[in-house]
Structure formats: structure tokens, C-alpha cells
Chains A and B, each alone.
Chain A
Amino acid sequence: MADTFIPIASRPSPVKVTGVAPWMRHNLFANWRSSLTTLFVIGLVLYVLPGFANWAVFNAVVRADADACQAARGVGACWGVVTEKYRLILFGRYPFEQHWRPLLATSIMVGGLVLSCVRYFWKPWLVTMWVGVLAVFFTLMGGGIFGLEPVRTDLWGGLPLTIMLATLSIFLAFPIAILVALGRRSHLPAIRSVCIVYIELIRGVPLISVLFMASFMFPLFMPQGMTIDVLVRVVVGITLFAAAYMAEIIRGGLQALPKGQLEAADTLGLSYWQTQRKIVLPQALAMTVPTMMGNFISIFKDTSLVFIVSLYELVGAMSLALNSDVNWRPFKIEAYLFITLVYFIFCISMSRYSLWVEKQLSASKAR
């Protein structure tokens, strides 16, 4: 039963599936319930948006004019509070004329961070570079040498403080986390117990209690006469906190590594530490990158808590700037929105970067 075969050419679909109209029909008006929802949402937006746009944009006062702002209260947003106070918000109690120093220091640190994100720069000298960046940062901020006027650490504040706390804590917590993660998976019961107690203790309590502990109890733990800088206490607190969470994430990566890898390393005669350094950690850490990035974002957001132990990062600096100035105090909402924007931009950049890294890593795994 062999007829002559006539190949059939490809034809386009008679019913258009892609394109604006079909997309709208499928995604917005697929059935009556969906259509109703679409109309409802559009109605809601049309109801709310003009009012909000008027308040935020059209009637808003941008000049740093307190009287104009008062006159516009309830009708327009007072972005003038940002124009007027942005330096106090961004840099906290740092001496006003020396603001170029935290600006420069933060730019260098952010530059270092951006550089570390690019795959091209993942070379061994990156660590040395980081030591250099941190040294420059602390010199610029603290001063006392090279003719720079010394600035006490409790005057540091605002965005530089936030970025420094987050970066330094993550940097210091990483090696601790690796050790604790390895320790928790150790076959030696004493080591394992110590690590488990540490992890469960820290993960079971809120950061605020760890900060309280660091702030109140750290000085008591030091030998008599030794004073601990408030910044150091906070960094220690956040580092210990972050290390416990990072240790759990790394442990997840270690668990996901096939046992065959360890066995192969054993047969090649590698010692425990060699195996960890060359075989286990590179693979395990690569697997944990997305979760780890999420953790970094959390730590960045958590730095806002130091406000409660009297270090004036963004939120604290803003409260300070506005509470002391009667003219501008009523416009806290606009200032809060400004800080929200700053945090939002940082966090969403980090999460977009994290998605990009995930894609890169899975592309390298796909055949």
C-alpha cells in the first residue's frame, strides 16, 4: 500500500496565537472571571493612580523650602526634606565637611564589590585586593594618619555604615561558616556537638538579642581594662549571626555532593584538608550560590537593626536628622520612602545578580 509520497509544506496557523490581540485574549479575557478581574484591576488603578501621582509628582515640593512644604501638606509630597537632609541621612553623624571621605570610601568598596561580581575577576589576587580595599576604607573613614582628621567610630553612619557592616560581616563569617559546616558533618562527636549547639542556638534567637548580647555583654567578657569599640562589638555580633546561617547553607551543599567524590579523592591519596580544599568545597559552594546570595541580601537588610543599639545607619540617621529639626519633622513619610528606595535598589540589584549567576552556573551544567 505504497502511494507516492508528496511532502506537505509548513503553513502558518489559521488561528493567530502570538501577537498583542491574542495575548490579551488569552491572558486578560480568557473567561468571564478573568475579564471581570481585568476590568476590576484596571478600574482600581485608574481610581488610585491619579491621586497618588498628584501627591507624589505634580503637587510635590522638591525645593528645600520648609514653608512651601507645610503649605502643601496633605496635597503634595515634600521631597524637599530629601533635598535638604540627604547628606545627613546618607552619612549620619559624620563631620559635615569631611563627607568626601565616606563618599570616596564607599565608592571604592562598592567598586570592589561590583568587580568581584564579574566572572573575569575571579582570580586569586581578588583576596589581596579585598584586603587592600578594606584597609583603604578604614583609613579613609577613621583617619588619624596621612593628615586625615580622626573620626570616632560611633560617628560613622548612614550608607557607608550599612555597606561596611554587611560586607565585613559576610567576609569574616565565610571562613567561620565553612569550618562550622565541616565540623557539623564531622564524624567526631565532640566537634559535631559543639557546632550543632552553636548553629541551633544562633538560629533559634532573633538578631536583636544577639546584638543586645554583643552590645551589653561583650565588654563584660573582656579582661578588665580593655575597651571594645562599639563598631567592633556590632561587627562581631552580626558576623557570628551570619556565620550560623551560612554554615547551614554550606552544609546543604556538602550533603548534596555525591559520596563518590570523596571516595575518589580517598583513592587518590588526598588528605582530609586537601580533599576539602580542592574537591569538596569548590563544588559544594558552587551549588549553594543562589541560596547564599539570598542570605547576603538578608544580612544587608538586617544591618538596619543596629539602629536599636545606637549605631546610626540609614534608618537611624534619618530619625536623628528629622527628630532634631522641628521644621522638617512632619515629613518623615517622604524620608522613609527615600530610604526604602535606597534599600530597594540595592536589594533588587543583588537578587537580579543572583538570578544571573544561577543561570550562568546552570548553563555550565547543561550539556
Chain B
Amino acid sequence: MKHQPPPQKRAWSLNSRATRGVIFQVLTLALVVAGIWFLWHNMQENMRIRGIESGWNFLGSTAGFDIGETMVEYDPSESYGKAIWVGVLNTLKVAVVGIVLTTLLGVLIGVGRFSRNALVRGLCYGYVELFRNVPILLQLLMWYLIFIEVLPPSNEAWNMAGLFFLSKGGLSFPFPTDGVGQVLAGAAIGLVGAWFWRDRKQKHFELTGQNSNRIWGPAALILIFAVVGWAVAGMPTTWDVPKQLVFMVDGGVAATPEFMAVLVGLVIYTAAFIAEVVRSGIQSVSAGQVEAALALGLNQKQNMKLVVLPQALRVIIPPMTNQYLNLTKNSSLAVAVGYPDVVSIANTTINQSGRAVECIAIIMLVYLATSLSTSAFMNWYNQRMAIKER
């Protein structure tokens, strides 16, 4: 029988689902476009009437305000654009350090919920309940207040071993004057070497069945290369050590009370949520999995490494990434304690230049970029790691 193409669909009946769908969409789009046009038109009118200028050229004009702490060189004669960039760097600084610290703390507390000791379990539970149920803004303000009230004035800072100074002026710690770059580069090379070492060990294990420790060797390798980097830099031994002067502490690298308040507040708050994510991840691995592993003769360490952790991590990583995003977004509250993050600087810019729309757009763009890239990473991760089912 000759192959016949399928019969043509009768097009454009008003009752067909397809037609209705198209009409519905056209109407909705028209509505949305009309709505946006209406708002936009009003905005243009209002801005014209109020004499508010628009445009992005303000980014080139002089900022005229100083910024409390900066990661790059900055002075008030620089442009608004530079000031906002400083803000972005400050946000990144607190976000990156915060994410590292909160992961450590959150995982500790999350695992502590399963401790054999009832006191540890209770303390972890209490920690989570306390810090999850108080608004983050309140926590930031409290930490800032505590640092300001409790810390001594700069002329009589607390010091530890004469190297670390803590006062209302901040936390000063010693930092090497040079060679840092070379040491880090050495460590990076060592890291690559360590990766190859572990790869060789894995192949050896597969070949012979003998498993040996894979931590100490690679760690030593990283250390050795870091030392080599230090040697290449000329073996510098000078450190910028803070000293207590009459009125203040000078030298070293200082973390301001504002930075510390934001960091500590964010870390402690987010750790409570991460602890819950870790706890539910570990709980999601059914007891039967552990029993099967034990019945096969695996010991506790192997059980954790080969059976529980791989499955738990798949459940933990997506919400954990979400918490990282929340920490980054919550860092916008730094404006309440005076830490110059991007929102705080944009706020000052709005007050001075009147360009509310543009500045808010910049803020949203910065955070959107972070969120969308993290979402993209998470989607990729989920697809790769998904447990394959029918």
C-alpha cells in the first residue's frame, strides 16, 4: 500500500484548543506590553516634570564621597562607576569568605545532630532553632552593637601573643609583606601535582587491590611546592605586624568592625540553615543502604565514603547552593551597619546623583548575574549527578 502522508489538520476553528491558546497568548502579551508601555510612559513624563535626568553617563562623573574600606585603590575624586565597582568587590569579599566559613560551621552542626552525645545533639538543635527564628537584620545589628559596645577602644586593644589586636577599630592581624603571590602559585602547582598523585593511586588500587592513604602524600606535595614558591620569592621573612600605638593599632591587615559584624552575622545565620540541609541529606539515605553495606563487610569509614556520602551529597548540594545565594543576597543588608557593599554605595550614589532608576538597575543586575550563573551551575550539576532511573 502506498505510503500516504497524514491528513491535513483542519485549521483555525474557533473552538479548537490550539486556536484558543494562540488567542489567549496574543491577548496576554498585548496586555503585558501595554502595561509596560503605560508604566514606561508615566515614568518618562514624571522624570521630565521633576527634572530628573536619565542616562548612564553619570557613571563617569566624580563621586565625591569616600568609602570606608576598599579592596582596590580609591579616593573621592574617582568616578561613580569606580565607586560602584569597589562596592561589588566588597560584596564579593564578604560573600566568598562568608560562604567558606558558613559551610564549615553548618556542616559541623548538621553532623553534630547525629552525635552519640545527647548534649551535642541538643546544643546543635538549640543553635538551629535559635538562629533560624530571628530576622537576619536583627542579628546583624546585634553583632555590630556587640562589637562596638564590648570591644575596647583602639588605644587599649586586646591582643593575643602580641600579634593579633582586637578593638573597636577592628581586628588587625599580621600579613606577609611579599611573597604571597609566589607561595600561592606554588601551592596551585602542588594542587595539580596532588591531583595526578591521587589519580595514580586510584589506578594502582584498581590494578592490585591494595589501597593506601591518599591524603598525606598529596598534602605534603602541596606543602612542598608552596615552600618552593616561597624560596623562589627570595625567602622573604618580613611580616607586616600590627603594633599598638598611643591612639590606635597600626600595621598589619585590618578587618573593620562593620565587615566583621556582617561576616559573623551572615555566617552564623546561614549556618543554621545549612545545618538543616546537611541533616536532611544524611537522613535521606535509607537505613537499608547502611545495612547492606555492613552486611557486605564494609567498615564505617568505607560505608560513609562509598555509600552514604555520595547519596547524601546529591540531596545536599542543590539546597546548599541555594543557601549560598541567600547569603550573597543577605549581604545587601550590610547597608544597615555601614559596611560599604554594592547596595550601600548605590544608595549613596542615588542620594547624590538622583539616578534612582539606573542605580537600582545596577544593583539588580549584579545580583541577577550571580543568581543566574549559580542556577545554571546547579542545573548542570543536577543533570550530571542525577541517579538514573527508568
Contacts and interface: CB of A to CB of B under 8 A. Distances in A.
Q: Does A touch B (CB under 8 Å) in the complex?
A: yes
A209 B116 contact: no
Nearest to B137: A304
A347 to B, nearest CB: 4
B343 A315 contact: no
Interface string B120-145: 10010000011011111110011001
Contacts of B367: 204-206, 209
Contact of B117 (A30, A217, A221, A339): A30
Contacts of B43: 217, 220-221
A201 B360 contact: no
A197 to B, nearest CB: 10
B141 A190 contact: no
Interface stretch (A34-42, A47-55, A58-66, A359-367): A34-42
Interface stretch (B64-72, B82-90, B303-311, B326-334): B326-334
B118 interface: yes
Interface centre among B21, B134, B343 (most CB of A within 10 A): B134
Interface residues of B, number: 55
Interface string A161-189: 00000000000000000000000000111
Nearest to A348: B133
A343 B138 contact: yes
B89 to A, nearest CB: 18
Contacts of A206: 329-330, 332-333, 343, 367
Given A27-B117, A30-B116, A220-B46, A201 B368 contact: yes
B149 A37 contact: no
B372 interface: yes
Nearest to B130: A344
A213 interface: yes
A213 B360 contact: yes
Given A191-B28, A223-B42, A304 B360 contact: no
Contacts of A231: none
A212 B358 CA distance: 12
Contact of B119 (A37, A222, A301, A347): A37
Contacts of A37: 117, 119-120
A221 B138 contact: no
Contacts of A265: none
B350 interface: yes
A194 B32 contact: yes
Contact of A216 (B21, B356, B368, B375): B356
A107 to B, nearest CB: 23
A205 to B, nearest CB: 5
A203 B375 CA distance: 11
Given A37-B119, A308-B336, A205 B133 contact: no
A303 B389 CA distance: 43
B118 to A, nearest CB: 4
Contact of B116 (A27, A208, A344): A27
A220 B138 contact: no
A336 interface: yes
Interface in A195-230: 200-201, 203-209, 212-213, 216-217, 219-224
A307 interface: yes
Nearest to A226: B42
B137 A307 contact: yes
A30 B120 CA distance: 13
A267 interface: no
A351 interface: yes
Interface centre among A200, A205, A219, A348 (most CB of B within 10 A): A205
B42 A224 contact: yes
A313 to B, nearest CB: 10
A206 B367 CA distance: 7
Contact of B371 (A34, A188, A203): A203
B49 interface: yes
A343 B146 CA distance: 19
Contacts of B294: none
A305 interface: yes
B75 interface: no
B39 A209 contact: no
A194 B28 CA distance: 9
The 5 closest A-B pairs by CB, nearest first: A204-B371, A347-B133, A27-B118, A190-B25, A301-B135
23 contacts: A27-B116, A28-B117, A28-B119, A31-B116, A41-B119, A41-B120, A190-B25, A190-B26, A190-B28, A190-B29, A194-B29, A204-B372, A207-B329, A209-B363, A212-B347, A213-B364, A220-B357, A297-B133, A333-B145, A347-B132, A348-B129, A351-B129, A351-B133
Given A188-B25, A201-B368, A351-B129, 14 more contacts: A189-B25, A191-B24, A194-B28, A208-B343, A209-B343, A212-B347, A212-B356, A212-B363, A220-B356, A224-B45, A304-B138, A308-B336, A315-B137, A333-B146
Interface of B: 21, 24-26, 28-29, 32, 39, 42-43, 45-47, 49, 115-120, 123, 129-130, 132-138, 141-142, 145-146, 149, 329-330, 332-333, 335-336, 343, 347, 350, 356-357, 360, 363-364, 367-368, 370-372, 375
